[in-house]
Every structure is written in structure tokens, then in C-alpha cells.
């Protein structure tokens, strides 16, 4: 099977073809078509406010860090570019941006934006909800997890909408199970300008970049071009855990004729880490000896030698979108896309210090350091077609999502001291692969047709029924399969029909209530193929049934919303515990998730706004009645926002509740309580001053100070249980840090 790696040549060809397509037709002066495209069927709410100006002080909605829409049909949190630019570190990626929302939690152990962060949503893990970019779902191909630093830095994100629920039929992805984090690119500026930006801060963190907006080009059908480049490097809080990354972004929008708008987007990211593959933190013994930030060292005789632990990641994300109004109420929206991820890792095998040095390659009693050569590399191709027809009674929406992925994964034994693969493998593998832990290729073929009708029962009541059909075929073609270590060539199909029904009732100009019934699903993990005969697995994926009620209020002085939810998780996909040819993954019980959430912003006056959100969450296994591991029991945020004249600022605290770090085992009840961590809080401060027309041909100059974890707390955020207690690994809050930033607009 052929995979498609990251390639500058491939990207250059893609850019050339797309620009040729966009240049093929040009309608002079078609500004209305370009404006209409901003309100197309994918981004239901425009989240890119004013291209980086300060938080508005005229309405609570303009000042709100998060808020819901009066048209919402499920709990949501809308986050604007204004909030990102003022209150989030310039080094941030999406996890830091969306963490402000209720029921979301996650923290970077290496410092804000300086390491991958796994965000939880209502207790659902990172592989149990979708993440989309401009309406396109993306994620890993072994399971639908995400790498927060690998694709989209904060400088290319125009805003986000967190949807806590499966959404409507056209909400796409492999894990509608838990909800969606929907990211959006920046809205094009109508005027030409250039911005140069940079920041410097704790742990020798440095960031620099430049962005260019063409504005509406009168001789090019009022089309727009956006360019962005960003470089980030840092030593990081964790010892020797450096990061170095570059991102290149191009976005072109152009009318083709009078009724079509084309958008071409490409983002390429290159990132290098120095870190262990098992990056779950130090043991308590290591903390006592070296400190909470211990990770790597400079000793070549150690598993933790920085020279033995490094990762290179190359990614790209590209799409061509055509939005067409055909007249008579008909419209189409088609997105042809591809994205790729290439992770090449060299790492030692045990950073805990509990394994004695010595490899199978050296003589008896040798002190060589064993390691791995790891690859996870995939290319995804897809197309999303949406067809809309407007009637007097409402809008009918239908379409289909098609996607194919090709994945190449391997892991080889290494003798890091000798710098070669470990040539003597004791486990039973074919003799032609003596050093291979696994060498595996896999594919996913996905087809999901969907349909819904937004029925306008009255001018104030909208009822939307819909259905989505899931048809997925997963195949593995492995010379040496993971875990079983034998040849594997097989495929399994998964099918599901997912109905939903929502209603939104407007009550006057500033109040609405909504209700949702919806079913979600999650694609089975690739690990279900790590058995002798995967065709014996159940073909029924994990499912969720969501029941949600909410109310949204909005006025000039106050925006607020509250919701209640209950989610029944069924068909949990687990191993039957058998070995050999009897091994299989089967459906068993599940869990119940329920809670209450809310968010509010009050515009006090004089440039001051107050913000608060909170959630009370429960996630309990049906068989034991105990809380599921990794699920915080609450979240809360409090904030003070200020905007008057050239000054702007924010002081926001986010608290994440207590978490059980291991699932309940009836045979070890004491251990369950021992792995419960307490709540922790991060308080972030931002102050900014904007000089208008300061001279030197500058339109504006903004200076900003951000302080993160202002209180300097270093509580435990997670524990990864080891085979013994001495092997438990801990992560902590990164201590207080700061960044000083500047942006010059020309």
C-alpha cells in the first residue's frame, strides 16, 4: 500500500492547481457574493470578530469570552478571535483556547502551548469527541484522537465553537459520541494590511511571525488573499523538553461568476520536540530527587538522556471549497480536502528509572540503553458535499461525507548506545523480521450520507428531525501486526443509523429555549485488530444517546445560558479476555453522563465586564456505579474584563474539579481512592495597550503582558499508574510564567 507523506513539492503543486482554478473565471466587483459566503452552511456563527481589535464594550455579547446563540439546538460556547488575542498566550494552540468553556479541562505540563494537551469534555476523553477545522473533521487514524500542537497554532485560528453534543445530521466525524470542538480560520479583512508580531517569555520562549491581508482586490472580483507565518521555540518548563516549530498558512477566497465563491486553504506545520515517547511525567522518587519538572538529562548512560529522546512531526491540512447559489432556493457547498501527519520518534523505553540498562544486542551484563524507532504516518483524502433547498416551511439539508485514509505505522527495537536496531528479539516473530515490534499498514473507507429538515413551525419555533447513516470499513495489512506479532490481512465493517430531533423556541427578542434528542457513535479503536481473527469482533460501534435541555438569554447588558444533560453510553467495546483464536472485542454495558452547565457575561459599564461559567458533572460506570477515570466532577471560571480607550485587560481563573485517575477495581477498592487527585486552579492575567497611528508608517502598535498561573500553584493534574506504585508517573501544573508581546500593523 502506498502512503502519502508530507511534501513541500506536493503542497506547491496543490497551491498551483488551486490558484489556477481560482483564476480561471473572474467576475468584476462581486462583493455581495463574497460577503454571503461568510454566512454559508458550515460556519453557522461568525466567530472572527474585527480581526484582532480589542474586546467590544458596547454589549455583553461583544465582551463575552464564551456565549451561546439564541438559535442554539444544543449546549455550545462561542469563542471569538478577540478573546484569543487578549487572554490567551501567543504560543497557544486550540486546547488552551477552548479550555475556558464549561465542562472542558486540560493542562500543558511543559508550559502554555509548549506540549500536547489532551482536553476532556464532560469527562469524555480526547478520542471520544470530534474536532473540525472550517467544518472538516480531522484526527488520528488508529483512533480519533488529536495532537494539539501539530496542525493549527493560535495565530491561524479565527475562533471556535464548542458544541457539547452530537449536533445535527451534518455534524461529521468519527466520534460524535461526546461532542465537537469546531475551529475556524480567520475571516478575511476587507482592507489591505500587514502585521508583524512577536513575543518572549519564561523558559526562553520566543515567538515571531508575520501576516498579510490583501483586502478586497477590485481587479480580482473582490477576492482576498491571506498569508501567515509563525516560528516558535522554547526550552520548556520540563527539563530538556525543547520545542521548535514553524507554520505556513495561505487562504484565498474568490468569487467565480456571480453565484459561486471558491476558497482555497493550506496550512503546513513542522515541529521538533526533545521528549520521551512515554511523556507522562516523573515518578515521586524522581520528583523528590530532581523536582517536579524532571524529564530528561545530559547523561548518555541514562534512559533519560536528551540525545536518545526526540520527535519530528510534519503535517499539512488543505482544502478547496466551492459554495454555489443555484437560484430557486437551491445551494451547494462542496469541500475537497486532504491532510497528513508524519510522526518520526526515537525514544528510550523507560523514563521512570526503574528498568536497569542492558539490551539484548550487547554482551551479557551490558549497560546499553534500549529504545524504539516509532513511526505513525498517514494521509487522509475526503470530500463533503452539502445540498440545501429552501422552502416556505423551512430548509431541507442533505449530503454525503466520503473519506479514505492510508496509514503506515511501525515500531522497531533499538540499541541506542550502539546506534543500531536490536538484532535479537525473543518474542515469536517471523525470522525475516528479527527486530520488529510491529510493521503495519491500515486503511479506513468511510461513507456517511445525511439528511435533515429545519421545519419553521411558526416564526419563533423551529423543529429539526434528521438522520445519518454510518458505513465504515477498516482494514489492516501488516507484515508483523501489533501485539500478535504475526502476519495480518483482514477487514471489518461497522454500520449504524443515527437519528436526532431538536427544537428551538424563541421567546421574545432576547430569550430562547431548546431541546435535543440525538444519537452519537465512536469508531472502534485500531487495537481491536491486535488479535488473531478480527472478523470475530462485534461490528456494532459504541453509541451514545443524548437528552439535553437549555435556555439562552441575551440583552445589551447580559448574556447567559444554562443547560441540563443526560447521556447514555451503550455498547462499550472491550476485549473478551480470551487468548489465541478465541480472542475478540465485544459489546458490554456502558456508562451514564449527566450534569448542569452555565455561562454568563454582565456588562457592568465603564469598560468593565464580569464573566462566570460553571458545570457540575457526573460520569458513572453502569456496572459499578463508580466515577469513570479522567472525568472531573466540576469546572468553573470567573473573570474580570476591562476595555476603555487604548487599555484592555482580563483576569480569569479556571478551576478543574477532582478526578479519579484509575477506574474502579472491586478487588482493589483502596487503590481507586488512592488515585483520586484534588481540584486545581489556573489564574491568568493579561494587560494590553494599543497605540493608534504611532508614526513610522504604522497604523497601530499593541504591547501586551500575559501572566499564566498567577498564583504559582503546582498541584497534581494527572497520574499515570505504573505496574507498581513506584512506577506511577505524575504531571503537575507548570509554575507561574509570563510573556511580553508586541504587534505592529502596517
pTM: 0.91
Highest mean pLDDT among 349-363, 365-379, 703-717: 703-717
pLDDT in tens, 195-222: 999 999 999 999 999 999 999 999 899 9
Under DSSP, the state recorded for 174 is: S
Strands (E), 99-165: 104-105, 120-121, 130-133, 136-137, 157-163
User: What pLDDT digit, counting tens, does each position of 102-118 carry?
Assistant: 999 999 999 999 999 99
Q: What is the pLDDT of residue 362?
A: 60
Q: What is the pLDDT of residue 673?
A: 92
Residue range 431-467, pLDDT digits in tens: 344 478 899 999 999 999 999 999 999 999 999 999 9
Fold of 8-745: Maltoporin; Chain A (2.40.170)
Contact assessment for residue 649 and residue 642, using Cβ atoms and an 8 Å cutoff: yes
Q: Distance (Å, rounded) from C-alpha 101 to C-alpha 597? A: 10
- The confidence band for 78, taking pLDDT boundaries of 50, 70 and 90, is very high
- Cell numbers 466540576 label which residue? 634
- Residue the block writes with cell 518474542: 427
| Cβ pair 379, 343 in contact under 8 A | no
The pLDDT score that the predictor gives to residue 14 is 46
Q: How far is 539 from 541, CA to CA, in rounded Å?
A: 6
pLDDT at 335: 98
Average pLDDT over residues 468-493: 92
Name the average pLDDT for the chain: 89
pLDDT band at 422 (very low <50, low <70, confident <90, very high): low
Predicted pLDDT at 696: 87
Cβ-contact 443, 1 below 8 angstroms? yes
pLDDT for the residue 540: 78
- Would you say residue 384 has pLDDT above 80? yes
Band (pLDDT 50/70/90 cuts) for residue 23 is very low
- Percent over 70 (pLDDT), the chain: 90
Whether 193 shows a pLDDT value over 70: the answer reads yes
Whether 18 shows a pLDDT value over 50: the answer reads: no
564 strand-pairing partners? 549, 596
Burial degree of 343 (CB within 10 A; 0-12, 13-18, 19+): buried
Q: Is the pLDDT of residue 359 over 90?
A: no
* Beta strands 180-185; 130-133: pairing state: parallel
Q: Are 516 and 547 in contact (CB under 8 A)?
A: yes
Say if strands 737-745 and 591-605 run parallel, antiparallel, or are unpaired. unpaired
CB contact set of 181 (below 8 Å; sequence gap of 6+): 94, 98, 119, 121, 129, 130, 131, 132, 160, 162, 163
State residue 126's pLDDT score: 93
* Span 330-353, average pLDDT: 96
Average pLDDT over residues 266-289: 96
Amino acid at each position: 500500500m502506498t502512503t502519502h507523506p508530507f511534501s513541500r513539492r506536493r503542497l506547491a503543486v496543490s497551491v498551483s492547481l488551486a490558484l489556477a482554478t481560482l483564476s480561471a473565471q473572474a467576475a468584476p466587483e462581486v462583493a455581495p457574493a463574497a460577503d454571503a459566503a461568510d454566512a454559508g452552511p458550515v460556519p453557522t456563527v461568525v466567530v472572527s470578530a474585527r480581526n484582532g481589535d480589542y474586546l467590544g464594550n458596547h454589549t455583553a455579547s461583544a465582551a463575552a469570552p464564551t456565549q451561546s446563540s439564541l438559535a442554539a439546538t444544543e449546549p455550545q460556547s462561542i469563542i471569538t478571535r478577540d478573546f484569543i488575542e487578549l487572554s490567551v498566550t501567543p504560543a497557544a494552540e486550540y486546547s488552551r483556547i477552548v479550555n475556558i468553556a464549561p465542562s472542558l479541562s486540560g493542562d500543558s505540563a511543559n508550559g502554555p502551548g509548549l506540549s500536547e494537551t489532551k482536553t476532556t469534555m464532560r469527562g469524555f476523553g480526547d478520542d471520544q469527541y470530534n474536532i473540525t477545522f472550517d467544518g472538516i473533521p480531522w484526527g488520528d487514524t488508529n483512533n480519533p484522537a488529536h495532537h494539539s500542537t501539530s496542525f493549527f497554532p493560535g495565530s491561524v485560528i479565527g475562533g471556535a465553537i464548542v458544541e457539547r453534543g452530537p449536533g445535527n445530521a451534518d455534524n461529521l466525524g468519527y466520534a460524535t459520541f461526546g461532542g465537537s470542538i469546531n475551529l475556524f480560520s480567520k475571516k478575511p479583512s476587507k482592507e489591505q494590511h500587514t502585521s508583524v508580531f512577536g513575543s518572549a517569555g519564561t523558559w526562553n520562549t520566543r515567538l515571531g511571525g508575520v501576516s498579510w491581508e490583501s483586502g478586497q482586490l477590485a481587479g480580482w472580483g473582490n477576492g482576498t488573499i491571506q498569508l501567515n507565518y509563525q516560528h516558535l521555540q522554547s526550552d520548556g518548563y520540563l527539563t530538556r523538553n525543547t520545542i521548535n516549530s514553524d507554520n505556513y498558512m495561505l487562504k484565498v477566497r474568490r468569487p467565480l461568476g456571480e453565484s459561486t465563491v471558491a476558497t482555497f486553504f493550506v496550512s503546513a506545520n513542522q515541529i521538533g520536540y526533545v521528549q520521551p515517547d512515554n511523556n507522562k511525567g516523573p515518578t515521586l522518587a524522581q520528583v523528590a530527587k530532581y523536582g517536579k519538572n524532571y524529564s530528561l538529562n545530559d547523561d548518555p548512560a541514562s534512559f533519560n538522556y536528551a540525545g536518545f529522546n526526540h520527535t519530528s512531526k510534519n503535517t499539512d491540512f488543505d482544502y478547496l471549497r466551492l459554495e454555489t447559489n443555484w437560484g430557486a432556493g437551491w445551494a451547494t457547498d462542496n469541500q475537497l480536502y486532504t491532510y497528513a501527519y508524519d510522526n518520526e520518534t526515537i525514544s528510550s523505553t523507560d523514563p521512570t528509572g526503574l528498568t536497569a540498562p542492558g539490551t539484548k544486542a550487547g554482551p551479557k551484563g551490558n549497560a546499553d540503553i534500549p529504545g524504539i524507532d516509532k513511526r505513525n504516518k498517514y494521509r487522509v483524502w475526503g470530500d463533503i458535499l452539502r445540498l440545501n433547498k429552501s422552502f416556505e416551511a423551512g430548509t431541507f439539508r442533505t449530503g454525503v461525507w466520503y473519506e479514505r485514509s492510508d496509514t503506515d505505522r511501525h515500531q522497531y527495537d533499538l540499541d541506542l548506545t550502539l546506534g543500531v536496531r536490536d538484532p535479537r528479539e525473543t518474542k515469536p516473530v517471523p525470522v525475516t523480521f528479527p527486530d520488529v515490534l510491529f510493521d503495519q499498514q491500515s486503511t479506513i473507507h468511510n461513507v456517511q450520507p445525511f439528511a435533515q429538515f429545519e421545519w419553521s413551525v411558526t416564526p419563533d419555533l423551529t423543529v429539526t428531525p434528521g438522520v445519518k447513516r454510518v458505513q465504515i470499513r477498516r482494514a489492516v495489512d501488516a507484515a508483523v501486526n501489533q501485539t500478535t506479532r504475526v502476519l495480518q490481512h483482514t477487514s471489518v465493517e461497522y454500520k449504524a443509523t443515527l437519528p436526532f430531533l431538536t427544537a428551538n423556541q424563541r421567546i421574545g427578542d432576547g430569550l430562547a429555549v431548546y431541546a435535543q434528542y440525538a444519537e452519537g457513535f465512536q469508531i472502534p479503536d485500531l487495537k481491536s485488530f491486535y488479535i488473531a481473527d478480527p472478523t470475530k469482533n462485534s461490528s456494532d460501534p459504541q453509541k451514545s444517546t443524548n437528552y439535553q435541555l437549555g435556555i439562552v438569554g441575551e440583552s445589551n447588558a447580559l448574556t447567559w445560558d444554562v443547560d441540563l444533560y443526560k447521556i447514555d453510553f451503550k455498547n462499550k467495546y472491550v476485549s473478551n479476555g480470551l487468548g489465541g483464536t478465541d480472542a475478540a472485542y465485544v459489546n458490554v454495558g456502558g456508562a451514564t453522563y449527566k450534569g448542569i452547565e452555565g455561562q454568563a457575561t454582565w456588562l457592568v459599564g465603564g469598560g468593565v465586564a464580569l464573566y462566570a461559567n460553571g458545570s457540575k458533572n457526573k460520569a458513572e460506570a453502569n456496572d459499578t456505579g463508580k466515577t469513570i477515570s479522567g472525568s472531573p466532577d466540576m469546572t468553573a471560571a470567573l473573570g474580570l474584563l476591562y476595555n476603555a480607550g487604548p487599555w484592555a485587560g482580563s483576569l480569569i481563573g479556571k478551576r478543574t474539579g477532582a478526578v479519579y485517575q484509575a477506574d474502579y477495581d472491586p478487588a482493589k477498592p483502596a487503590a481507586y481512592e488512592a488515585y483520586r487527585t484534588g481540584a486545581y486552579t489556573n489564574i491568568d492575567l493579561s494587560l494590553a495597550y494599543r497605540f493608534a497611528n504611532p508614526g513610522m508608517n504604522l497604523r497601530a502598535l499593541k504591547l501586551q503582558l500575559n501572566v499564566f498561573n498567577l498564583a504559582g500553584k503546582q498541584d497534581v493534574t494527572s497520574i499515570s499508574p505504573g505496574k507498581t506504585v513506584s512506577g506511577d508517573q505524575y504531571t503537575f501544573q507548570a509554575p507561574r510564567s509570563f510573556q511580553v508581546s508586541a504587534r505592529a500593523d502596517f
